[in-house]
Amino acid sequence: MKHVSNSKYKALIVDLDGTLYYQLPVRLCMLYSMLFFCLTRPHRIKEVLLVRSYRKLYAKGVNHSKRCSGLSKKYNFDISRVENIIQKWMIDNPLRYIKIFRDKDLLQILINLKKQGCKIIIYSDYPVTKKLEALDFTADAMYSADDVGCLKPSPDGLLKICTENELVISECLFIGDRYEKDGKCAENTGMEYTILPQRKRARQRVVTYLASLFLLSLL
């Protein structure tokens, strides 16, 4: 737990990937899926290499349109094919695994807090709509990098979210799974935050504490 106090929180801003579900088993499933794809369709291995290049460009902070245009030239694919490949491997295929490895405890707590009047906002660098549908969760608002015009850890995304939802930074808690992205994003904004452990048992302790903290603050 980091930077969490007994403030009267009115909103919880939550990262999606690796936060609402356990990322490691999802990534392993996707790895096996890609390996099987390459073994059965070796003539299309460039598609998997393209996805790998896309992730590297994302890590460097390159925006989506520039990633796709650059990869179009590198792999000699038209833009529409690049978009379709990214949609398939980055958005559509992981959905089945996200549902299997969702963090049931955290999602239930978010549902309970939402019923109690706490605003729940999802904020991810990647598109969120289909993933939330797979998780069977409805948020009060949801934002991706395309919606806020920047990638984490830029503070601009959180600032825009607070402005559009009429929230005070000190009344919000940001919860994520990566300090270098989520934690620094919150720090750059001046918002309190916590980073969830990847190990299930350690995470459950943190989630239980957060539940008690929020339920007390809503009394």
Residues 29-72 pLDDT 10s: 999 999 999 999 999 999 999 999 998 888 787 878 889 999 99
The answer to whether residues 14 and 110 touch, using CB atoms and an 8 Å cutoff, is: yes
**Other Cβ atoms within 10 Å of 97 Cβ, number:** 19
The answer to whether residues 135 and 21 touch, using CB atoms and an 8 Å cutoff, is: yes
| Residue 216 confidence (pLDDT) | 53
Q: What separation, in Å, do the N-terminal and C-terminal C-alpha atoms of the chain show? A: 23
**Considering just the CA atoms, what is the radius of gyration of the chain in Å?**
18
Same domain assignment for residues 89 and 114: no
1 part of a folded domain: no
Mean pLDDT of 157-178: 95
Same domain assignment for residues 71 and 139: no
Q: Which of 79, 97, 115 is the last residue of a domain?
A: 97
Same domain assignment for residues 122 and 34: no
What is the SS3 assignment for 126-186?
Answer: CCCHHHHHHHCCCCCEEECHHHHCCCCCCCHHHHHHHHHCCCCHHHEEEEECCHHHHHHHH
Task: Indicate the pTM of the whole model.
Answer: 0.86
Mean pLDDT of 138-166: 95
Same domain assignment for residues 75 and 148: no
Query: What residues make up the domain containing 169?
Result: 11-22+102-217
Same domain assignment for residues 200 and 117: yes
Residues 5-27 pLDDT 10s: 545 788 999 999 999 999 999 99
Angle at CA of residue 112, ends 124 and 200, nearest 5°: 60
Nearest to residue 137, comparing CAs of 162, 106, 178?
106
Nearest-angstrom CA–CA distance, 13 and 173: 6
| Element containing residue 188 per DSSP (H, E) | helix 184-189
Burial label for 35, CB within 10 Å (0-12, 13-18, 19+), is exposed
Average pLDDT, the chain: 90
The answer to whether residues 17 and 124 touch, using CB atoms and an 8 Å cutoff, is: yes
Give the number of domains in the chain: 2
Mean pLDDT of 121-133: 94
The answer to whether residues 45 and 152 touch, using CB atoms and an 8 Å cutoff, is: no
Nearest-angstrom CA–CA distance, 98 and 133: 10
